[in-house]
Structure 1
Amino acid sequence: MLRYFVAVAEELHFGRAATRLYISQPSLSHQIRKLEETLGTPLFVRSSRRVQLTAAGRTLIREAPIALAALEQAVQLTRLAGSGIATTIRLGYTPVTSFDTLTTLLDALHEDHPGLTVAPREVFSAEIPERLCAGDLDIGLALAPQPIDGVGGEILRREPVSALLSTRHPLAGTPAIPVTALRDQTLLLFPRRLAPTYYDGIVAACHEAGFSPEIHAFEEPPVNAMLARLSGGREIGLAPASFAEHAAKPGTGIVLRDIVDPPIPAELSVLWPANDPSLAISGVLATARRCAEQNGWLRNHPGE
């Protein structure tokens, strides 16, 4: 009935309001009378020539949009709950997704599921599967996660590993850095225990190029820690390209260079509890797949 009232109040004409609402004028008049009876006060002054709002009607038209918006939100939340879509999703993400991948996914989830609340939590990749099994998380974004019973997963994004280095580094003027050029360099990486498969992939690429890399590990928040260490000009940070592109911003004194001959791949996966059949998980996964498709996250696998 409130929606009918708003239409009449805006049109100040029952005939036009009925046309706008796609109902007959007698039905509209009946609904307005029922609303007035419920409220115990007239909302309109009707005459053969014009329709005017009463003082009560003017008060209601100020409050009605707020009430309608609240009602619409309640309807959406009710539909989500009834369909199995939870109103809150706890999303664990590894720090290297905190720029492009995470923000793109959060925007898409807001668009696809406006009644859904997403609670992002920064978690290192190696911890995400266990926290999914423990029920601490509903969805995870992990870099090269190790398989674990009870956790489902699929690759969401493939991209190359890029090099971050100071503008003062001897290799800063090189357009692209071959893996062999890393032989005599000190590489900055997460400790192996935080992303073991990713770490091992980089070490394996160096071994295939004929050397064992010198690695310094850091556990502090990745952007600040890496940029501070790289500013000295002696080390090279390795990170997935989408993360590296945001870390190497103008004014930081840090540049981004591709790793080539061969490129080193990095794979980001979306993970979920395998025994959770809820539509909440299905809805988030559908949105994640849409993001991957629309943004080309699975195209151009490095080395292919």
Structure 2
Amino acid sequence: MDVSPRLLRYFVAVAEELHFGRAAARLYVSQPSLSQQIRKLEHDLGTALFVRSSRRVRLTAAGRALALEAPVVLGALARAVELTRLAGSGPTTSVRLGYTPVTGLETLSTLLSALQADHPTLTVVPREVFSGEIPERLGDGDIDLGLALSPQLRDGLDGELLREEPVSALLGAHHRLAAEPAIPLQRLSGEKLLLFPRPLAPVYYDSIVAACRAAGFLPDVRTFDEPPVSAMLARLPSGHEVGLAPSAFAEEAARTGTGIVRRDVVGPAITARLSLVWDSSHPSPVRAGVVATARRCARRNGWLRRTTPSPARG
């Protein structure tokens, strides 16, 4: 029996949304057409996949079984296509990946492992680059892809949002707020806030300042000279400053640093967004394969919220 990938994609959309209207909008097809295709799939399989009523849609036992297997089949097919394209591009391929220092080892290592699994003939050359430098490095051809914190995309660049996470506070273990289980953003009024210098990630920096203003105060921002990561971690144990950083990085810093603790920040939301960025004016099957793997990696590891905005353009 032949079941087309298109029918499986339609089924997966309805199974995830449990609503034919939302699934149709997600697939850019009409709702009657989607319903017809699902009925065709059920006819081909000889079993009902959904129980439909005027108020709700739910999976049958057969539908639940297919919902587990269909994404695996579609993922394997996508991987086969990408590997074929990579093989056709030459016997050896490589990409230069610029990454921001606050990517966090967990994010970067997880992505590199996924790329190795999906593209065993691909060599990834990581290069540490600040987020604010990535657009220029891409334009100059110094890197092929950039892993940037809240990038600002200019003309000719495109991006794929990979991770959204809250911003956490990093404090010396003897800081007066270190005993708090979570810190309201308003409590940071009057504190010396240690941030990565604005040119390294302008959109991210501005989002923190805007959140502080929304909380009713103008932040007393302190920055530091290069190298920024080690400079931040060296200054925090003194207990005179509070660092603000993406949660994944903050967790690693608190786990590996001496005399540093991480605390959640509550109040006006501050979100750090990590995106994969590339020069869209030069299509590349190798890069397309990397982006597809990164997208699956983000979904598999739960890095994205259900609804996410695109990287800023400007």
TM-score under structure 1 length normalisation: 0.70
The answer (yes or no) to whether the contact 1:84–1:278 under 8 Å persists in 2 is no
* Equivalent residue pairs, number: 226
- In structure 2, the partner of 1:268 is 274
Do the aligned partners of residues 271 and 143 (structure 1) sit closer, same or farther apart at CA in structure 2, a change above 3 Å counting? same
The answer (yes or no) to whether the contact 2:85–2:285 under 8 Å persists in 1 is no
- In structure 2, the partner of 1:240 is 246
Q: Deviations over 1:228-282 (max 9, x none)?
A: 1001111001100000000001661100000101331111111011112111110
Structure 1 residue runs of 4 or more that deviate by more than 6 Å after TM superposition: none
- CA distance in structure 2 between the aligned counterparts of 1:122 and 1:250, rounded to whole angstroms: 20
Counterpart amino acid of residue 261 in structure 1: G
- CA distance in structure 2 between the aligned counterparts of 1:231 and 1:132, rounded to whole angstroms: 37
Out of 104, 112, 119, the position equivalent to 1:106 is: 112
Structure 1: gaps of 5 or more residues: 1-76
- CA distance in structure 1 between the aligned counterparts of 2:184 and 2:306, rounded to whole angstroms: 19
- In structure 1, the partner of 2:175 is 169
Answer yes or no: is 1:83 the counterpart of 2:89: yes
The equivalences for 1:19-34 within 5 A come to none
The equivalences for 1:209-228 within 5 A come to 209-228=215-234
Answer yes or no: is 1:295 the counterpart of 2:294: no
- CA distance in structure 1 between the aligned counterparts of 2:258 and 2:281, rounded to whole angstroms: 45
Counterpart amino acid of residue 116 in structure 1: L
Q: Deviations over 1:96-115 (max 9, x none)?
A: 11411111100100000011
Do the aligned partners of residues 85 and 266 (structure 1) sit closer, same or farther apart at CA in structure 2, a change above 3 Å counting? farther
The equivalences for 1:1-304 within 5 A come to 80=86, 82-83=88-89, 87-249=93-255, 252-299=258-305
Q: Shift of residue 218 of structure 1? A: 1.8
Counterpart amino acid of residue 248 in structure 2: S
Q: Which structure has the larger Rg? A: 1
Q: Shift of residue 149 of structure 1? A: 1.0
The answer (yes or no) to whether the contact 1:124–1:195 under 8 Å persists in 2 is yes
TM-score under structure 2 length normalisation: 0.68
- CA distance in structure 2 between the aligned counterparts of 1:118 and 1:153, rounded to whole angstroms: 18
Do the aligned partners of residues 200 and 84 (structure 1) sit closer, same or farther apart at CA in structure 2, a change above 3 Å counting? farther
> What secondary structure sits across from 2:152 in the alignment?
coil
The answer (yes or no) to whether the contact 1:88–1:119 under 8 Å persists in 2 is yes
The answer (yes or no) to whether the contact 1:109–1:284 under 8 Å persists in 2 is yes
Do the aligned partners of residues 131 and 85 (structure 1) sit closer, same or farther apart at CA in structure 2, a change above 3 Å counting? farther
The answer (yes or no) to whether the contact 1:265–1:301 under 8 Å persists in 2 is no
